[in-house]
Amino acid sequence: MSYYVSPRFLDKVAIHITKNFMDLPGVRVPVILGVHGRKGEGKSFQCELVFKLMGIEPVRMSAGELESPDAGDPVRLIRSRYREAADLIKVRGKMCVLLINDLDAGAGRVDKTTQYTVNTQLVNGTLMNIADNPTDVQLPGSYETEPTPRVPIIVTGNDFSTLYAPLVRDGRMDKFYWEPSLEDRIGIVAGIFEEDRLVRADVERLVATFPNQSIDFFGALRSRVYDEQVRAFIRQVGVDRVSTHLVNNPDKTLSAIKAQVTLEHLIALGAEMVGEQNRLVRSQLAQEYVSNAGFTAAPVGSAGNGQQVATSETVSTAAPVRVLEHREAVDFGSVTPPQGWPSHVPLPQIEQLLERSLRQGGRLSLEVASPREKSGNIWRSWPWSQSPDNATKAVEGILDCIQANPRSYIKLVGYNPKTQTRLLEETIVRPQ
């Protein structure tokens, strides 16, 4: 199978790698190239194809290796992998690169609720140090006088705006936003279905039918085509004998039957996959289950300990946080506060926030943090005592939370249940 390599992608990556092995007088060449863009558009795979064309065997790292229970381990690993690539350059006399996939998932900060660890700081500092001194990369506790061969670094990710700003500044990181053009998409999809002998006109129509889907969608679509063949194989062998048959058979393709791929079949399967995507977005079963139990669920993407789960699809559109100081003069006006309502908590402002969020069709939740937890930006979800479908019930739920957490900060969160984006985020109670 021959895969399509985008000329634009090849040009950018090949130039970056080549410049790092050239001696250009008076020219400062960034060591790091950051390839970023939407999820599923084949950033890492295009990098691998370029490496194969250039005869490069990269040293790879992933975002999961950028965190560890032991402080400093990821830094040692980065330096070790960099020096491993440098040794390959010296020993083999060939180009080598260090590839770090999904850097923003390991070192990025999605929003202010993402936990920022010592390892995150050390990873950013180490990458900046390597970018500034690419020929002097030492392992901790080891100091050598011999220069290290310069190794270009390529990092991939979805949103580099979440990274530490000094790391991505010009001079340290060269940025490349990968968004396949229509011609690129047609070429890549044609390569995916090349073995199925799908003509280019059908490929163009298939891409036009699903214009908003990522490149990975078409790879998954081709896999879905073979479900019927796999189903027939299971029936032929028997469900109870599939395990031993495949495990003990060295050639697992003997019984595979070539699928008949047609444009109409692909469009039908693609429509099913799009329907499953939409059902996933609309279902929100977890929130429904919790609501039936008498609570309102926290937004998807928010962990119970206050840490935000980073996703490649969700971009936070939360409104700026405006903190209500408890020192503000409280004027309840015609609003009658519930019995036991603290005098230092501004009820009219809170009711305005509640009504605004409910008018926008949002759902509400509360987050609580002790002074020590707040200093570490750690918030805990607090369940409502009843479903806050109106401002009155919401105020009663807030009062219950205040009475149960008398010396804590309380944050009111409103979010859109369809898009899972925050519409409101206000600290409404501060400890006296």
User: In the chain, where are the structural domains located?
Assistant: 7-177, 182-283, 288-429
- The 10s digit of each residue's pLDDT in 342-368 is 877 888 888 777 777 777 777 788 888
Tell me the mean pLDDT in the region 158-187: 91
Is the pTM here over 0.85, yes or no? no
- The 10s digit of each residue's pLDDT in 106-160 is 888 776 656 677 888 889 999 999 999 999 888 877 777 788 899 999 999 998 8
Q: Residue 425: what pLDDT?
A: 82
Distance (Å, whole) CA 97 – CA 21 = 11
Q: Say yes or no to pLDDT of 303 above 50.
A: no
Contact in structure between 413 and 425 (CB atoms under 8 Å): yes
Distance (Å, whole) CA 42 – CA 48 = 10
Of 21-35, 235-249, 418-432, minimum mean pLDDT range = 418-432
Class of domain 182-283: mainly alpha
Distance (Å, whole) CA 365 – CA 397 = 10
Q: Residue 332: what pLDDT?
A: 36
Contact in structure between 366 and 413 (CB atoms under 8 Å): yes
**What is the token pair recorded at 297?**
């669920």
Distance (Å, whole) CA 126 – CA 137 = 9
Q: Residue 390: what pLDDT?
A: 67
Neighbours of 172 (CB within 10 A): 18
Q: Which residue has the higher pLDDT, 16 or 317?
A: 16
The CATH code for residues 7-177 is 3.40.50.300
Q: Which residue has the higher pLDDT, 20 or 111?
A: 20
Q: Alpha-carbon Rg of the chain, whole angstroms? A: 27
Q: Residue 348: what pLDDT?
A: 80
> Regarding beta strands 32-36 and 173-177, do their DSSP bridges make them parallel or antiparallel, or are they unpaired?
parallel
Q: Say yes or no to pLDDT of 322 above 60.
A: no
Q: Residue 296: what pLDDT?
A: 40
> Which amino acid, residue 274?
V
Of 244-253, 344-353, 365-374, minimum mean pLDDT range = 244-253
329 phi and psi angles, rounded to 5 deg: -70, 130
Contact in structure between 81 and 98 (CB atoms under 8 Å): yes
Q: Residue 1: what pLDDT?
A: 57
The CATH code for residues 288-429 is 3.30.190.10
